[in-house]
């Protein structure tokens, strides 16, 4: 569904104003406090940000992927910790339900996810199952009308605030790989579910990741998403979309950093003139702009194709690989253009430098994206479709 151009422009403008007026001025405070103020979270709720990827019949804005990416570019214009508040509701925490949930499951949870009253989280990674997600060992053993879950999930974004988790767990112990995995909605208040302390991390203070531990947690069979053994595919489909969204956030941050670089380079004088007039500075800024523009075009193209019903597994990996690696280079150049000031906390550039490092890791490392791209190309060639 193509989104009405006027509604879309109005929404983008609202998000832009919110980011500029409410988020940018308190970036340092959020990093120092390691928390996004409740008033800002409330405003995100009012804007409908928690529900942008939830269908209208469940209270969401039902944005198409292209519009979601345009919103994500805007959210990237400030510290990524702000986006993370609603990030799991927009993406990996809600989309298993949106894409594969039954009517009953959707009407039970999606309205709360859309309004932001329920925080949803995605629990795939484990201490011994990161890139090799199909090797997960959390068990879900059927016992009458329930599954009994045991295991530990690791680095789960927003786990400390989550009301429900999409959990991938092994229902068939005789099948070691992807085929033995099923997906479940697990409510936080289920006896036997506990959440660890937030990890101390390199960046994105204000956003949190924790362990989630299941000890004989009994989850109703009705909470299983899709069929037994289909959980890995559910997770991968969710990540296809999530990777496009993260690409757009990273590219938004690149755009912000280019603006910071240009403004600083016009002000800062060395050798008797603004450093913007020095060609080696120009080269760093120009390379950043060219790469960011390329990322933006790739993302919008992949998003439109997804909206048109195409399989975008490979394209999502291409955008995630390119946009997040480009963002890393842009952040590095931003520190370089700022010189000593780039290393000093007050200027905020070193914070972005740390914040963006995770983009190349979560929702699949750059190396996993390369593997997926190569795998899809080989598949297409074997099928005579290349």
According to the binding rule CB under 6 A, does residue 125 interact with ligand COS? yes
Closer residue to ligand COS (CB): 280 or 383: 383
3-state secondary structure 231-299: HHHHHHHHHHHHHHHHHHHHHHHHHHHHHHHHHHHHHCEECCEEHHHCHHHHHHHHHHHHHHHHHHHHH
Interface region with ligand COS, contact rule CB under 6 A, candidates 110-118, 122-130, 259-267, 332-340:
122-130
Q: Is 373 in the site for ligand COS (CB under 6 A)?
A: no
Least Å distance between CB 129 and ligand COS? 9
**196-218: burial string, b at 16+ Cβ within 10 Å, e else:** bebeebebbbbbbbbbbbbeebb
By C-alpha distance, which of 140, 95, 149, 86 is closest to 122? 95
Given 186, 300, 368, 373, the residue binding ligand COS (CB under 6 A) = 368
Is 93 one of the binding residues for ligand COS (CB under 6 A)? no
Give Cα separations from 46 to 50, 52, 94, 113 (angstroms). Answer: 9, 12, 19, 13
By CB under 6 A, residue 288 contacts ligand COS? no
Q: What residues between 199 and 238 interact with ligand COS by CB under 6 A?
A: 232-233, 236-237
**Nearest distance from C-beta of residue 229 to ligand COS, angstroms:** 9
Rounded CA separation 250/244 (Å):
10
Nearest to 280 by CA among 351, 339, 323: 339
User: 279-307 and 313-338 helices cross at what angle (nearest 10)?
Assistant: 160
How many chain residues bind ligand COS (CB under 6 A)? Answer: 22
The nearest distance, CB 157 to ligand COS, in angstroms, is 7
CA dist 161 → 200, 206, 281, 345 (Å):
16, 12, 43, 28
Is 260 designated active site? no
In the list 313, 319, 349, 373, the residue contacting ligand COS (rule: CB under 6 A) is 313
Provide, rounded to whole angstroms, the least separation between the CB of residue 73 and ligand COS: 20
326 contacts ligand COS (rule: CB under 6 A): no
Could you give phi then psi for residue 195, rounded to 5 degrees?
-125, 135
The smaller minimum CB distance to ligand COS, of residues 131 and 282, is found at 131
Does 372 interact with ligand COS (rule: CB under 6 A)?
yes
155 membership: H or E segment, kind and range: strand 146-157
Q: Does 240 bind ligand COS (CB under 6 A)?
A: yes
Instruction: Out of 27, 255, 260, 363, pick the active-site residue.
Output: 363
Q: Which stretch binds ligand COS (CB under 6 A): 47-55, 65-73, 78-86, 119-127?
A: 119-127
DSSP designation for 210: E
- Closest C-alpha to 345, from 174, 239, 205, 185: 205
Nearer to ligand COS, 141 or 236 (CB): 236
Residue from 164, 178, 193, 249 that binds ligand COS (CB under 6 A)? 178
CA distance 324 to 359: 6
Torsion of CA 58, 61, 65, 67, to 10 degrees: 180
State the minimum distance, in angstroms, from the CB of residue 155 to ligand COS: 7
Helices and strands in the chain: count of H runs, count of E runs = 12, 10
Chosen residue from 29, 131, 263, 282 binding ligand COS by CB under 6 A? 131
* DSSP-derived secondary structure letter, 348: S
- Of the candidate spans 18-26, 130-138, 268-276, 319-327, the one that interacts with ligand COS by CB under 6 A turns out to be 130-138
Kindly compute the dihedral angle of the four CA atoms of residues 337, 341, 346, 348, in this order, to the nearest 10 degrees.
20
Residue 22 per-residue DSSP state: I
Q: According to the binding rule CB under 6 A, does residue 134 interact with ligand COS? A: yes
Residue 84 in contact with ligand COS, rule: CB under 6 A: no
Cα dihedral 209, 210, 213, 217, rounded to 10, equals: -50
Nearer to ligand COS, 124 or 148 (CB): 124
Site string for ligand COS, 336-365 (x = CB under 6 A): --------------------------xxx-
Site for ligand COS in 46-75 (CB under 6 A): none
Task: Give the active site residues.
Answer: 363
Applying CB under 6 A, the residues found at the interface with ligand COS are: 122, 124-125, 131-134, 177-178, 232-233, 236-237, 239-240, 313, 362-364, 368, 371-372
């Amino acid at each position: 569904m193509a989104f009405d151009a006027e509604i879309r422009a109005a929404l983008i403008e609202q998000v832009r104003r919110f980011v500029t007026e409410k988020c940018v001025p308190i970036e340092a405070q959020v990093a120092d406090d390691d928390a996004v103020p409740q008033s800002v979270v409330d405003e995100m709720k009012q804007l409908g940000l928690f529900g942008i990827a939830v269908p209208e019949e469940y209270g969401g804005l039902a944005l198409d992927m292209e519009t979601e990416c345009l919103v994500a570019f805007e959210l990237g214009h400030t510290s990524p910790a702000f986006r993370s508040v609603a990030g799991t509701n927009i993406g990996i925490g809600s989309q298993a339900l949106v894409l594969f949930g039954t009517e009953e499951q959707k009407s039970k949870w999606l309205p709360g996810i859309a309004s932001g009253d329920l925080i949803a989280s995605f629990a795939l990674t484990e201490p011994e199952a990161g890139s090799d997600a199909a090797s997960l060992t959390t068990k879900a053993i059927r016992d009458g009308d329930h599954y009994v879950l045991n295991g530990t999930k690791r680095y789960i974004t927003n786990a400390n605030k989550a009301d429900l988790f999409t959990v991938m767990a092994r229902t068939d112990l005789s099948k070691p790989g992807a085929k033995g995995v099923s997906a479940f909605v697990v409510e936080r208040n289920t006896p036997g579910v506990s959440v660890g302390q937030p990890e101390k991390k390199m960046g994105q203070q204000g956003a949190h990741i924790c362990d989630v531990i299941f000890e004989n947690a009994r989850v109703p069979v009705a909470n299983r998403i899709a069929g037994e053994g289909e959980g890995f595919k559910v997770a991968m489909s969710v990540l296809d979309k999530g990777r496009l969204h993260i690409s757009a956030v990273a590219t938004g941050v690149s755009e912000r950093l280019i603006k910071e670089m240009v403004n600083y380079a016009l002000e800062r004088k060395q050798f008797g003139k603004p450093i913007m007039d020095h060609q080696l500075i120009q080269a760093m800024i120009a390379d950043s702009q060219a790469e960011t523009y390329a990322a933006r075009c790739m993302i919008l193209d992949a998003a439109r194709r997804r909206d048109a019903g195409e399989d975008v597994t490979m394209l999502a990996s291409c955008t995630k690989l390119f946009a997040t690696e480009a963002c890393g280079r842009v952040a590095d150049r931003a520190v370089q253009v700022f010189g000593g000031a780039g290393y000093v906390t007050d200027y905020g550039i070193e914070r972005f430098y740390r914040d963006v490092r995770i983009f190349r890791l979560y929702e699949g490392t750059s190396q996993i994206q390369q593997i997926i791209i190569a795998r899809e190309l080989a598949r297409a060639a074997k099928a005579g479709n290349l």
